[in-house]
Amino acid sequence: MLTRHLLKQASTCRHFLLNSKTSSPFLTKSILFTSSSSSPESQSPTNTFVDDKVKDQYPTGTSISIDRSALYNLPEHSHEPTSDSELVKHLKGIIKFRGGPISVAEYMEEVLTNPKFGFYISRDVFGAEGDFITSPEVSQMFGEMVGVWAMCLWEQMGRPKQVNLVELGPGRGTLMADLLRSASKFKSFTESLHVHMVECSPTLQKLQHHNLKCFVEDDNSDGVEKRTVSMLAGIPVSWHALLEQVPSGMPSIIIAHEFYDALPVHQFQRASRGWCEKMVDVSEDSMFRFVLSPQPTPATLYLMRRCKWAAPKEIEKLGQIEVCPKAMDLTRTIADRIRCDGGGALIIDYGLNGVVSDSLQAIRKHKFINILDNPGSADLSAYVDFASIRHSAEEVSEDISVHGPMTQSQFLGALGINFRVEALLQNCTDEQADSLRTGYWRLVGEGEAPFWEGPDELVPIGMGTRYLAMAIVNKKQGVPVPFQ
Ligand code: SAH
């Protein structure tokens, strides 16, 4: 099944007529989660640990030695023209001028979000024409259910008059558009909102502006900054590069859907001399390759912190560990804001409720490829370590509580997606009903859809148990829906 999905890129797509979304067999980033072995050591079969040359030299066991001769003898700089992309030249430049390899995390961060050449920076990477597909793009029901969650939390907060509704990494802005469209009937809720989109990509910011049907208010008062307002619910919208830039002082509802998986991870390998960080280097034939760091690296501090949170048994069985310092730091920022201002955060992503071993994967045009292959042309993502998010948030304050993770299927089911799909099915054509059922399966189902009658290679795969939902709230809000 996995092979079929990796090798066959579907040539057609069908459209939701109800909401113009794509119901397609295209790859969700979590597909390997079930298709690969469930053993933590083999979370990503496409992710070879070291490049083949090194692997051939040291074929067995987890305690491998690595040829480090190239670390400090980088190839002479050549003035001959190369076909390297600007990002590849940039990465090789960093490695050359740094005088040694860079961490996998630095590589991942440059590849995804380098301000000039990053994967997310200058294009729309979602949907059938893009590289992968996400839940909000599968069905409008996803954003609607997240809207129900946000509204319930607002009720639990005592219906505050002013709330920051923050989305981290909003992609095309589809989730927020569906949320606002469905919430617009509840005026007292929407009137309290100021939407803040935290997005690093100028291209995606423009797309979000368009999809939220934003306009800049015509205001004649001099010196007052003009407001951008979404016509979907008549509420102000602002954009920021960082969560820290979102104004504080009022309660926040923060949504992070498939955001954490894009944060850079450090990878560690157990070797005879202990845990060594896996680094990206340039070989003599000018290709990227993995090597192990000869000395402890700064990220080792995060590895130690992560290991402290785990039971020794959990660590002992692992030959590799991934840690995501940015996820830990972001969680602390979220928890601290919620502690000060009140509110809560919802994190939905694919991952594990425990230590992640080796999950980093690259997807280009709905196919898995090698992580080092033409960087910048493929998405890189890693499983989210939900246990580490829990510990990071709980360490901030006793006033913070963390709930879940539960599966996406449980989460959407408890919020009423079954009723929503039934209501939509009451009033649609056969073709629309078909698309709705497919979208519904993809959001809450597990494995291949049993009702599917179309071509084998287009069979929809459920994301219901591969994606997990977790909430972080200020304790004074009580236990959030539907985690009771
Ligand atoms: N939530 C969306 C998109 C997920 S893809 C959906 O589910 O469809 C990840 C998103 O996060 C993209 O919008 C990307 O541009 C943004 N992003 C990735 N790293 C970021 C960072 N460090 N800061 C801000 N935005 C980032």
- 3-state SS string over the chain? CHHHHHHCCCCCCEECCCCCCEECCCCCCCCHHHHCCCCHHHCCCCCCCCCHHHHHHCCCCCCCCCCCCCCCCCCCCCCCCCCCCHHHHHHHHHHHHHCCCEEHHHHHHHHHHCCCCCCCCCCCCECCCCCECCHHHHCHHHHHHHHHHHHHHHHHCCCCCCEEEEEECCCCCHHHHHHHHHHCCCHHHHCCEEEEEECCCHHHHHHHHHHCCEEECCCCCCCCCCCEEECCCCEEEEEECCHHHCCCCCCEEEEEECCHHHCCCEEEEEECCEEEEEEEEECCCCCEEEEECCCCCCCHHHHHHHHHHCCHHHHHCCCEEEECHHHHHHHHHHHHHHHHHCEEEEEEEEEECCCECCCCEEEECCEEECCCCCCCCCEEECCEEHHHHHHHHHHHCCCEEEEEEEEHHHHHHHHCHHHHHHHHHCCCCHHHHHHHHHHHHHHHCEEECCCCCCCHHHCCEEECCCEEEEEEEEHHHCCCCCCC
The confidence score (pLDDT) of residue 365 equals 87
Q: Which atom of ligand 1 is nearest to the CA of 120?
A: 15
Q: Lowest-confidence range among 28-37, 181-190, 247-256, 398-407? A: 28-37
What confidence score (pLDDT) does residue 134 get?
93
- Enumerate residues 6+ apart whose C-beta is below 8 A from 301: none
Structure confidence at residue 34 (pLDDT) = 33
Residue nearest to atom 21 of ligand 1 (CA): 200
Atom of ligand 1 nearest to the CA of 258: 4
Give residue 225's pLDDT band: very low, low, confident or very high (50, 70, 90): confident
Residue 29 has a pLDDT of: 73
At 302-315, the pLDDT tens digits run: 999 999 999 999 99
Q: Is the pLDDT of residue 407 over 60?
A: yes
| Ligand 1 center to 168 CA (angstroms) | 7
- Distance from Cα 167 to the centre of ligand 1, integer Å: 9
pLDDT of 15 reads 29
Instruction: Using the predicted structure, report yes or no on whether residue 44 has a pLDDT greater than 50.
Output: no
| Residue 75 in this model has a pLDDT that exceeds 50 | no
- pLDDT average, residue stretch 349-361: 97
Q: Which of the four pLDDT bands, split at 50, 70 and 90, describes residue 95?
A: very high
What pLDDT, in 10s, does the model give residues 100-159? Answer: 999 999 999 999 999 999 999 977 888 667 778 899 999 999 999 999 999 999 999 999
Which atom of ligand 1 is least distant from the CA of 167? 1
**How far away, in angstroms, is 129 Cα from ligand 1 center?**
18
Confidence of residue 28 (pLDDT cuts 50, 70, 90): confident
Q: Please state the rounded mean pLDDT for residues 240-251.
A: 98
Q: Is the pLDDT of residue 41 over 60?
A: no
pLDDT of 462 > 60? The answer is yes
Cα(326) to ligand 1 centroid in Å equals 14
- Give the residue with greater pLDDT, 484 vs 74: 484
What is the distance in A from the centroid of ligand 1 to the CA of 55? 34
Evaluate if residue 83 carries a pLDDT over 80.
yes
Task: Give me the pLDDT at residue 366, please.
Answer: 85
pLDDT at 53 over 90: no
**Which pLDDT belongs to residue 221?**
64
The closest-lying atom of ligand 1 relative to the alpha carbon of residue 135 is 7
Task: Using a pLDDT cut of 90, give the percent of the chain over it.
Answer: 75
The pLDDT assigned to 25 comes to: 55
Percent of the chain predicted with pLDDT > 70: 82
pLDDT of 337 higher than 70: yes
Average pLDDT of the residues in 307-334: 97
Q: What is the mean pLDDT of residues 286-311?
A: 96
pLDDT band at 80 (very low <50, low <70, confident <90, very high): low
Cβ distance 389 to 347 under 8 Å?
A: yes
pLDDT of 18 > 70? The answer is: no
pLDDT given for residue 324 in this prediction: 98
Please give the pLDDT value at position 257: 98
Per residue in 418-459, pLDDT tens? Answer: 999 999 999 999 999 999 999 999 999 999 999 888 888 889
Residues with CB under 6 A from ligand 1: 112-113, 120, 126, 134, 136-137, 169-171, 175, 198-201, 204, 257-259, 262
Residues 6+ apart with CB under 8 A from 322: 265, 266, 267, 268, 356, 357, 358, 359, 360, 382, 383, 385
Centre of ligand 1 to C-alpha 350, Å, is 14
Residue of 109, 134, 201 to test ligand 1 pocket, by largest number of atoms within 8 Å of CB: 201
> Which residue's alpha carbon is nearest to atom 16 within ligand 1?
169
Residue 432: exposure state from Cβ atoms within 10 A (0-12, 13-18, ≥19) = middle
| pLDDT for 54 beyond 80 | no
Query: By mean pLDDT, which of 13-17, 320-324, 339-343 is the weakest?
Result: 13-17
